[in-house]
Amino acid sequence: MKSAALVFLAAFLALSASWGGFVLAPQLQLGRGAQAKALITEDLYPLARPGLARQGLEIYRANGCMYCHTQQVRQEGTHVEIYLTEGGTNAAGVLAALQRLSPALARSETLDSLPVKVVEVEDMVAADRALKTLKDAGGKAETVIVPTGADLARGWGRRRTVAQDFLYDQPVQPGVMRIGPDLANIGLRPYDADWHYRHLYAPASVVENSKMPPYRYLFEKRKAGAEPSPEALKLSGAAAPEDGYEIVPKAEAKALVAYLLNLRAEAPLFESPYTPPPASAPATNAAPTTAAVP
C-alpha cells in the first residue's frame, strides 16, 4: 500500500512538472508580455486586432485552418549590407576607402551614382568596421540588415516570427504543417478582400491546382436583383452560379477575411531585426487604409 502511494506521488509530480514546463511557463511568458517599440519607427507593436478581425480568428480556428497553414516565418540567418549614400568633400579619401572595401567601385564614376552598395558582411561587428572606414574618409554610409532563408525568399515575410507577434491572439495559432503557404504576413501580400472571398468559395478558380477545399457554407446563394449586389462574388466558369443567382459572403466569411487581411507581422523588433524598405507602409499590424489589388 505504501509503495502504491509513492508510485502515485511520483507520477503526480512528474505530470505536474511536465504541465508546468510545457503549459504554464509559456502561458506566463506570453501573458506577461507587453507592447514593445518597433525598431526605427518606435511605433508600439503589436496592435490589438479590431473587432471583426478578432471574430475572424475564431472562424479561422473553427474551420481548422491551422492544420494546413502556419503563421511561423522561419529565418536561417542575416547579413548586413553597407551603402555609401554621400561622398562628402574628400573624394580622394572616399575612393581610397572604397579601394580597401570594394576595389571594383574605386573610381570617380561611383560618386556620381549614389547611393551604391559597397559591401556585404556577416554581422554588425564587421559592418561597424566598414562604416568607420568610409566615415573616417569623409563619406556618409548606412547599414541595411537583411534576414535570409527559404521562407523569406518565398515572400512569406521579411523577418522571422517571434512570440511578440501573437501577444493579442487568444488562442495562439502558429499552425501545424504547411500544406498551404505560411500566412503570417498574408495581409501584406497583393490580395484584396474580393480575392480572398473567391479563394474561399472556389480555391482552384484563383490558384491553379489548389489542394484547398472550398468553404461554400460560408457563403449564400440567392436570387439576384435587377442590379447585382456589390457584395456578389465575381465568379466565372464552373464556379459561377446559374443565371439569375448570385453568391454573397455570410458574416462568418467577412470576419475570416478581415482576420486574414489583419495578419501583418512586419514590425522590426529587437529580437528579430531587419531594415524595412524606405517606401514601405507603417511597420504595424494595423489594417491597410486602402485595399490592395491582386
Report residue 236 as a C-alpha cell.
Answer: 466565372
Does 67 have pLDDT greater than 60?
Answer: yes
> In this predicted structure, what is the pLDDT of residue 37?
72
Beta bridge partners of 36: 45
The strand pair at 44-45 and 116-121 is best described as unpaired
> In this predicted structure, what is the pLDDT of residue 5?
75
Contact 78, 147 (CB under 8 A): yes
Domains and CATH numbers, the chain: 36-75+152-261 (1.10.760.10), 78-148 (3.30.1390.10)
Contact 158, 274 (CB under 8 A): yes
3-state secondary structure of 213: coil
> In this predicted structure, what is the pLDDT of residue 8?
72
Name the average pLDDT for the chain: 88
> In this predicted structure, what is the pLDDT of residue 111?
93
Contact 235, 216 (CB under 8 A): no
| Lowest-confidence segment of 18-32, 68-82, 230-244 by average pLDDT | 18-32
Amino acid letter, 134: L
State what percent of residues in the chain have pLDDT above 70: 88
CA dist 152 and 148 (Å) reads 6
For residue 281, what pLDDT band results from cuts at 50, 70 and 90? very low
State what percent of residues in the chain have pLDDT above 90: 72
Q: What is the mean pLDDT of residues 235-241?
A: 93
Does 280 have pLDDT greater than 60?
Answer: no
The tens digit of pLDDT for each residue in 97-137 reads 999 999 999 999 999 999 999 999 999 999 999 999 999 99
Q: What is the mean pLDDT of residues 272-276?
A: 91
Q: Which residue has the higher pLDDT, 284 or 77?
A: 77
Helix, strand, coil percentages for the chain (3-state, nearest 5):
40, 15, 45
For residue 2, what pLDDT band results from cuts at 50, 70 and 90? low
CA dist 79 and 274 (Å) reads 10
Q: Is 118 exposed, middle or buried (0-12, 13-18, 19+ CB in 10 A)?
A: buried
Does 83 have pLDDT greater than 90?
Answer: yes
Give the number of C-alpha atoms closer than 13 A to the C-alpha of residue 96, restricted to the C-beta side.
Answer: 9
The tens digit of pLDDT for each residue in 147-203 reads 999 999 999 999 999 999 999 898 899 998 999 999 999 999 999 999 999 999 999
Q: What is the mean pLDDT of residues 36-61?
A: 88
Interaxial angle between packed helices 251-261 and 193-201, expressed in degrees from 0 to 180 and rounded to the nearest 10? 120
The strand pair at 219-223 and 77-86 is best described as unpaired
Q: Which residue has the cell 554621400?
A: 86
Report residue 99 as a C-alpha cell.
Answer: 579601394
CB atoms within 10 A of CB 191: 20
Q: What is the mean pLDDT of residues 237-247?
A: 94
The tens digit of pLDDT for each residue in 282-294 reads 455 555 443 333 2
Q: Would you list the DSSP string of 220-256? A: EEEE--SS--TTS----GGGSPPTTEEEEE-HHHHHH
> In this predicted structure, what is the pLDDT of residue 34?
65
Does 32 have pLDDT greater than 90?
Answer: no
CA dist 148 and 81 (Å) reads 12
CA dist 61 and 134 (Å) reads 52
Does 225 have pLDDT greater than 80?
Answer: yes
Largest Cα separation within the chain, whole Å, is 91
> In this predicted structure, what is the pLDDT of residue 282?
47
Nearest by Cα to 138 from 94, 191, 77, 193: 94
Running DSSP on this structure, what letter comes out for residue 291? -
Q: Which ranges of 147-291 does DSSP label H, i.e. alpha helix? A: 150-153, 193-201, 251-261
> In this predicted structure, what is the pLDDT of residue 261?
97
What are the backbone angles phi and psi of residue 125, rounded to the nearest 5°? -65, -50
Does 232 have pLDDT greater than 90?
Answer: yes
